[in-house]
């Protein structure tokens, strides 16, 4: 007689909201085992009883055959004495005190659901909220754990009998799909114009599409917030949207029904194709084809377009091809510039009424606002620009265990980070914490994550800058909760984040190139070209750019011509009218600027690499007014000729990198009529050479061989790829971000790690 036994199994990882229990159920049936499975606040617990060999194979198959969107972090199994149970059951969820488990990010619509959506004979034909255990909303609708329907914003929709049957049938692909819905019981569309409900359900969709077709602007309630939608092929519609949104140059994200449509406008590599279609479906930045018929105004002065595919059934229906209907839609975040994206209906009506001609909304509430993620390919790998929908709240593994820390993050492109054991939960994208709305979003986000992941931080980390809203908030919080507050220097945080993502050990030191626009320095100046030697606990500033005044402070990041003139002034180069930034500013502005500089009025000192790129962009006449962060540098990169090998020279002495020679040589080339694309390339190449020589010097002094690159400047792909190539050629090991963006969205992780290490040590 075959031997009988049981097994108790605990699985952690992303195992809820991804069809894990149904999978276990079917697997148990397959091996003819009895027992049960349940979700608890740690993960999934299973007990099975039956033939001993079948039990063993069952345990082996859990990891081998797990559902496509699940991720198993740990699996423990121990044998139990055999018990005779009647069947295999899915038991109600349990909550375990003090335990947490990861929450699945939102998943793009799967191919099965997509097929149903367009199947005339399916009962969910053209129903905009189709989903199943493999797809649909997750993080954006979850209020608390465990992930069960009553704990989501779907709690308001009682299931109809048919849905209930599917939900309860272990063999159905909607078995325990928490957001399950159908036209009879689920959320519905409404079309609103001038605050009046004009149409519902399919009529709402038809009317919204007719508005889009006419060149009007539609506010669309999506998964993690509102989008503003218009015909991307219409120059007028795009101009209208730019005017109303007060967004003059920043590129708009685009959506097309399928990849072949995208290929009409952009080159799509194999990897880019994979990124477009995987379950995260981010916006992918693609190289634009010269023959694309789309207006240049979608992304002025850039060679790229950001495309995504429809990731919800609603987006599929909005984009559905039809003769005369635009093939490509602008799908940009629904906000006034600087504000966080609208996600609550009332708030959307108020903030978007001056932009949108109509609102296509639905009655499934969004619990957490999540922006679209933004990614591109660099050095043959995915490289994030904004990590949000589809990625958060996935945890990032830390190479070491640190005490639980809440890190508030940077002021711009804010995320926050909570750590527990060896996990870092880096939040979705919060935005620029420069106003009350964003600060509120930050506070609400922190509370939500603390509750979801059951984290009670024992310390707080924040930036060094005394005036940041986020830092002030951190101070108050530390005071209220009686928690120690660690101020972490911005560039140390950058490099520490890059180290943590790359699994650096506690003992390791790296050479860090933290190049960005702004970060408050230990001497009170604005830093941004910091060459550091650092480990997790400490950092030493070894080199930086020569300080120059930044006239009018933060405003100079926008008015880049002021930065160019400051560089000229600093180096004693006359403000001749043949230079574009000089010509751009009127005589009055110049004399005001001159007096600011000579009298040191509102002109903090900066070593920012971003501002040096701005100054060069301005000197070349590429950009004089930066209307979004990084515009001047982005446009300078866009014109850089990839086939140019020449460069200028950055001498350095002691710890200062000198800029006079580069600035003078750029001007000489300009006056000699050298094409701007060549000058831009030579300037980029000189930064590459500078990095290689500084890294070489530090290696020979200190014996370090690992180089970490972090900061917004590293979104410059021309610079990134050439720097990596050069450093690799010289035998360096180069670390770049691969889980978080290189910009300030990574700072929270770095703050957390640095604070954690300083607590330990």
Binding residues for Fe ion, per CB under 5 A? Answer: 516, 711, 744
Binding mask 169-208 for Zn ion (x = CB under 5 A): -------------x-xx-----------------------
Token pair belonging to 673: 């009529």
Distance set, CA 502 to CA 418, 497, 721, 735 (Å): 19, 9, 18, 7
What are the contacts of 172-176 at 24+ separation with CB within 8 A? 173/19, 173/22, 173/112, 173/132, 173/133, 173/134, 174/132, 174/133, 175/19, 175/21, 175/22, 175/25, 175/133, 176/19, 176/21, 176/22, 176/90, 176/133
Closer Cβ to Fe ion, 183 or 431, answer by number: 431
Instruction: List the Cα angle 43/46/49 in 5-degree steps.
Output: 170
Closer Cβ to Zn ion, 182 or 681, answer by number: 182
Q: Based on DSSP, count helices (H) and strands (E) in the chain, helices before strands.
A: 23, 32
Q: Where are the alpha helices (DSSP H) in 233-277?
A: 235-245, 259-263, 270-277
Residue 133 binding result from Zn ion, Fe ion, none, given CB thresholds of 5 to 8 Å by partner type: none
Closer Cβ to Zn ion, 132 or 417, answer by number: 132
Closer Cβ to Fe ion, 522 or 701, answer by number: 522
- Nearest CA-CA partner of 226 in 140, 156, 286, 131: 140
Strand bridging mode 283-288 / 196-200: unpaired
| 111 binds Zn ion, rule: CB under 5 A | no
3-state secondary structure of 273: helix
Q: Which stretch binds Zn ion (CB under 5 A): 98-106, 159-167, 559-567, 627-635?
A: 159-167
Which helix (DSSP H) or strand (DSSP E) does residue 670 occupy? helix 660-671
| 163 binds Zn ion, rule: CB under 5 A | yes
Residue 135 binding result from Zn ion, Fe ion, none, given CB thresholds of 5 to 8 Å by partner type: Zn ion
Minimal distance, residue 19 CB to Zn ion, in Å:
9
Residue 744 binding result from Zn ion, Fe ion, none, given CB thresholds of 5 to 8 Å by partner type: Fe ion
| 740 binds Zn ion, rule: CB under 5 A | no
Q: Where are the alpha helices (DSSP H) in 599-647?
A: 609-619, 631-639
Q: Which stretch binds Zn ion (CB under 5 A): 3-11, 106-114, 476-484, 709-717?
A: 106-114
What distance in Å separates the CA atoms of residue 652 and residue 698, rounded to the nearest whole number? 13
Residue 328 binding result from Fe ion, Zn ion, none, given CB thresholds of 5 to 8 Å by partner type: none
Minimal distance, residue 571 CB to Fe ion, in Å:
26
What distance in Å separates the CA atoms of residue 10 and residue 669, rounded to the nearest whole number? 67
| 110 binds Zn ion, rule: CB under 5 A | yes
Closer Cβ to Zn ion, 135 or 406, answer by number: 135
Closest residue to Fe ion using C-beta atoms? 516
Residue 182 binding result from Fe ion, Zn ion, none, given CB thresholds of 5 to 8 Å by partner type: Zn ion
| 95 binds Zn ion, rule: CB under 5 A | no
Residue 516 binding result from Fe ion, Zn ion, none, given CB thresholds of 5 to 8 Å by partner type: Fe ion
| 160 binds Zn ion, rule: CB under 5 A | yes
Write the DSSP string, 204-235: HHHHHHHHHHTT--EEEE-SSSEEEEEETT-H
| 165 binds Zn ion, rule: CB under 5 A | no
What distance in Å separates the CA atoms of residue 636 and residue 286, rounded to the nearest whole number? 18
Minimal distance, residue 555 CB to Fe ion, in Å:
18
Residue 233 binding result from Zn ion, Fe ion, none, given CB thresholds of 5 to 8 Å by partner type: none
Closer Cβ to Zn ion, 180 or 455, answer by number: 180
The answer for 19, left when phi > 0, alpha when psi is -120 to 50, beta otherwise, is left
Minimal distance, residue 130 CB to Zn ion, in Å:
7
Closer Cβ to Zn ion, 201 or 450, answer by number: 201
State which of residues 11, 54, 108, 135 lies at the interface with Zn ion (CB under 5 A).
135
Minimal distance, residue 167 CB to Zn ion, in Å:
9
Minimal distance, residue 711 CB to Fe ion, in Å:
5
Closer Cβ to Fe ion, 307 or 486, answer by number: 486
Output the CA torsion sign for 585, 588, 589, 594: positive
Distance set, CA 289 to CA 267, 312, 480 (Å): 6, 27, 55
Closer Cβ to Fe ion, 236 or 523, answer by number: 523
Closer Cβ to Fe ion, 129 or 515, answer by number: 515
Residue 184 binding result from Zn ion, Fe ion, none, given CB thresholds of 5 to 8 Å by partner type: Zn ion
Minimal distance, residue 56 CB to Fe ion, in Å:
52
- Nearest CA-CA partner of 710 in 460, 493, 479: 493
| 435 binds Zn ion, rule: CB under 5 A | no
Q: Which residues bind Zn ion (CB under 5 A)?
A: 110, 113, 132, 134-135, 160, 163, 182, 184-185
């Amino acid at each position: 007689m075959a031997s009988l036994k049981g097994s108790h199994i605990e699985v952690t990882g992303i195992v809820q909201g991804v069809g894990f229990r149904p999978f276990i159920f079917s697997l148990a049936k397959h091996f003819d085992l009895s027992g049960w499975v349940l979700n608890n606040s740690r993960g999934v617990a299973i007990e099975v009883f039956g033939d001993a060999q079948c039990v063993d194979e069952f345990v082996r198959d859990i990891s081998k055959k797990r559902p496509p969107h699940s991720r198993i972090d740990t699996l423990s199994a121990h044998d139990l004495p055999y018990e005779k149970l009647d069947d295999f059951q899915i038991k109600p969820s349990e909550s375990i005190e003090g335990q947490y488990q990861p929450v699945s990010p939102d998943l793009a619509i799967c191919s099965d659901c997509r097929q149903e959506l367009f199947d005339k004979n399916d009962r969910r034909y053209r129903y905009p909220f189709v989903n199943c255990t493999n797809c649909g909303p997750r993080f954006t609708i979850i209020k608390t754990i465990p992930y069960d329907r009553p704990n989501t914003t779907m709690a308001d929709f009682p299931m109809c009998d048919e849905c209930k049957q599917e939900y309860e049938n272990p063999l159905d692909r909607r078995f325990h799909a928490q957001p399950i819905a159908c036209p009879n019981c689920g959320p519905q569309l409404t079309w609103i114009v001038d605050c009046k409900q004009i149409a519902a359900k399919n009529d709402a969709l038809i009317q919204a599409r007719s508005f889009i077709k006419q060149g009007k602007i539609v506010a669309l309630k999506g998964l993690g917030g509102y989008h503003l939608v218009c015909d991307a092929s219409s120059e007028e519609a795009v101009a209208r949207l730019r005017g109303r949104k007060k967004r003059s140059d920043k590129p708009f994200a685009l959506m097309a029904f399928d990849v072949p449509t995208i290929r009409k406008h952009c080159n799509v590599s194999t990897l880019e194709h994979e990124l477009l279609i995987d379950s995260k479906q981010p916006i992918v930045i693609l190289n634009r084809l010269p023959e694309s018929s789309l207006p240049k105004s979608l992304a002025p002065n850039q060679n790229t377009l950001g495309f995504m595919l429809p990731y919800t059934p609603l987006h599929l229906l909005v984009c559905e091809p039809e003769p005369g209907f635009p093939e490509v839609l602008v799908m940009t975040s629904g906000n006034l510039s600087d504000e966080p994206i609208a996600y609550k209906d009332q708030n959307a009506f108020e903030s978007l009424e001056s932009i949108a001609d109509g609102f296509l909304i639905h009655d499934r509430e969004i619990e957490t606002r999540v922006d679209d993620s933004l990614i591109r390919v660099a050095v043959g790998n995915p490289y994030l620009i904004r990590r949000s929908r589809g990625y958060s709240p996935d945890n990032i593994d830390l190479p070491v265990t640190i005490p639980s820390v809440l890190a508030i993050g940077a002021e711009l492109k804010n995320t926050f980070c909570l750590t527990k054991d060896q996990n870092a939960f880096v939040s979705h994208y919060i935005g620029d914490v420069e106003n009350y709305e964003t600060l509120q979003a930050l506070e609400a986000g922190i509370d939500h994550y603390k509750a979801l992941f059951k984290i009670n931080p024992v310390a707080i980390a924040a930036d060094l800058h005394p005036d940041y809203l986020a830092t002030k908030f951190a101070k108050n919080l530390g005071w209220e909760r009686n928690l120690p507050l660690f101020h972490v220097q911005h560039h140390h945080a950058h490099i520490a984040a890059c180290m943590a993502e790359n699994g650096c050990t506690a003992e390791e030191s790296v050479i860090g190139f933290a190049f960005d626009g702004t970060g408050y320095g230990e001497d009170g100046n604005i830093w941004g070209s910091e060459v550091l030697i650092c480990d997790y606990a400490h950092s030493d500033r070894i080199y930086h750019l020569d300080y120059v005044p930044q006239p009018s402070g933060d405003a100079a990041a926008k008015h880049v011509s002021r930065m160019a003139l400051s560089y000229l002034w600093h180096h004693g180069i006359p403000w001749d009218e043949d230079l574009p930034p000089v010509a751009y500013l009127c005589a009055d502005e110049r004399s005001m600027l001159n007096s600011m500089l000579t009298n040191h009025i509102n002109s903090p000192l900066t070593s920012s690499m971003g501002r040096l790129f701005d100054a060069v962009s301005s000197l070349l006449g590429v950009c004089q007014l930066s209307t979004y962060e990084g515009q001047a540098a982005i446009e300078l990169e866009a014109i850089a000729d990839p086939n140019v090998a020449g460069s200028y020279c950055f001498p350095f002495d002691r710890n200062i990198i000198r800029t006079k020679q580069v600035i003078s040589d750029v001007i000489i080339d300009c006056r000699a009529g050298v094409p701007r694309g060549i000058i831009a390339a030579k300037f980029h190449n000189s930064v590459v050479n500078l990095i290689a020589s500084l890294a070489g010097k530090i290696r020979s002094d200190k014996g370090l061989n690992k180089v970490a690159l972090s900061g917004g400047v590293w979104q410059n792909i021309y610079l990134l790829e050439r720097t990596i190539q050069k450093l690799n050629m010289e035998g360096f090991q180069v670390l770049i971000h691969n889980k978080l963006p290189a910009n300030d969205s990574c700072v929270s992780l770095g703050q957390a790690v640095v604070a954690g290490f300083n607590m330990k040590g």
